[in-house]
Amino acid sequence: MFFRRFTALIVISFLLWQTASGQESTPVPTPEKAISPAPKPKPPATPAEPPITFNSVHVDGPYIALTFDDGPNATLTPKLLDLLAARHLKATFFVVGQNAADHPDILKRAVREGHEIANHSWSHPNLGKMSDEAVRRELQKTDDAIAAAIGKRPTLLRPPYGSITSHQKKWIHDEFGYRIIIWDVDPLDWKRPGPSVVTARILKETKAGSIVLAHDIHPPTIEAMPATFDQLMKKGFKSVTVTELLAMATPLPPKPTPSPSAPRAIPVATPAPASSPPPVPTNTPGG
């Protein structure tokens, strides 16, 4: 009897052990963490193309460029050179090719005295309305006349009237290497408003980095220059050639970030006038 009970106890214990063993869970292997592919390196940023056209530049100092168009004139340009020499000022002359070919000695004198000679076309047409080939002839003839007079080719172009297309800027820069020079100070001296008006307009508009437009073919302009030069110098301005001014250019400082605590201004709509004056043309006949 005892033996049967002992045997039964062993059988029951064996069955309970197998049941318990069957219920144990087999550990499931944890999948490895997915590894993200390494980010592709960003292509290097394409450097911005240098500017081609200049109205003015930002400079750290009181430097400006005085420029004179349409000469050289047989009598007025030498007078202007005398005024500049007496004050140790430098200028840039954007010459018309026909005049340059007629007066090479004036160009030679200007270069000897530290001034710069630049291209202003052969016959002063509106380049923006011409074919590429016609523009090319205008510029090349003037380029050749300047090179014949002073022994080197110009690097700057001022299109007459400031008229030039974006397409023309690019191919002219690529083909001739010219930088296109416009202006930010225009006294409209070609209208001959009088010497005092020319002086007042230049003094009012000129700031550091300005490119000042005037013409050495109008007598009232030459009459205006002594007072103009003296007053500019009194204000502390120093005149350099356009190429020198461009070399001084510095980046514009970043605009200050507005304080988050500052109250935000709410714009107020202003009623439009009944009639608006016509827009002022960008390209004046002065160039």
The confidence score (pLDDT) of residue 254 equals: 81
Residues classed as catalytic? 69, 215
pLDDT band for position 256 (50/70/90)? confident
The confidence score (pLDDT) of residue 253 equals: 80
Cis peptide before 263 (omega within 30 of 0): no
What's the CATH architecture for 53-247? Alpha-Beta Barrel (3.20)
Amino acid identity of residue 239, one-letter, is S
What is the distance, to the nearest Å, from the Cα of residue 42 to the centroid of all Cα atoms in its chain?
28
Measured CA to CA, the distance from residue 127 to residue 136 in angstroms comes to: 10
Listed in sequence order, the residues at least 6 apart from 196 whose beta carbon sits closer than 8 Å to its beta carbon are: 224, 227
Q: Who has greater pLDDT, 285 or 215? A: 215
pLDDT mean over 77-95: 98
The confidence score (pLDDT) of residue 49 equals: 72
The confidence score (pLDDT) of residue 150 equals: 98
Are 214 and 91 in contact by the 8 Å Cβ rule? The answer is: no
